[in-house]
Structures are given as C-alpha cells and as structure tokens.
Amino acid sequence: MATFEEEVWTEDIKKELSKARLVRRTVAQVWNKKNHRLTSTFEYEDENANKACPKIIEEKVVPKVGKNYNTKYRNNRGIVLHDYRS
C-alpha cells in the first residue's frame, strides 16, 4: 500500500522535475508546543528551474492533494523525513 507521499510524488513527477532541474526536495517535520507541521523545501539548479518547477508542481501535484497543501513562506527548524535529490 502506497503512502500519501508516494501517491502524490510519483516517480514520473520526480523524473519530470529532475529534467526541469530540481536539485532537491526535502520534507521536514516541525514540532511546536501544541502540534506539528510538515514543511517542504525545494532547491533548484538555476533561476529557470525556479520558474519551471513550480509550474509542474501546480499542474501535476496540486490536483492530487486538493486543499490539503497550504503554501506559506516561513523560517523553520525541523527533522528531515523525506529527502529527494535528482
């Protein structure tokens, strides 16, 4: 049985992002006093990749997760749970 992570971030999507020059995607868990959250960090090879990869994510990943993903920019500390390097 596939995890939510595996169902959303399929090998095909990872390959497409690698071709678009995504270098790394890291998922970390951040604990607060009353709860925790997961954060994703994306590292790109260059500015062109920084423009291309979010389009792929918007087209291929967001429809799979619906409203479960909430995009916010924050400064965090966390423990890495998933780390993909192409």
**For the chain, what are the domain ranges?**
4-85
CA distance 1 to 12: 18
Q: How does strand 79-85 pair with strand 22-31?
A: antiparallel
Which numeric CATH code is attached to 4-85? Answer: 3.30.70.100
Pairing assessment for the beta strands 36-44 and 79-85 based on DSSP bridges: unpaired
Q: What is the pTM of this model?
A: 0.73
Q: How far apart are CA 78 and CA 29, in angstroms?
A: 5
Beta bridge partners of 30: 37
pLDDT of residue 13: 95
pLDDT in tens, 8-41: 899 999 999 999 999 989 888 888 778 877 778 8
Determine contact, residues 77/68, Cβ cutoff 8 Å. Answer: no
Tokens of 22: 């995504």
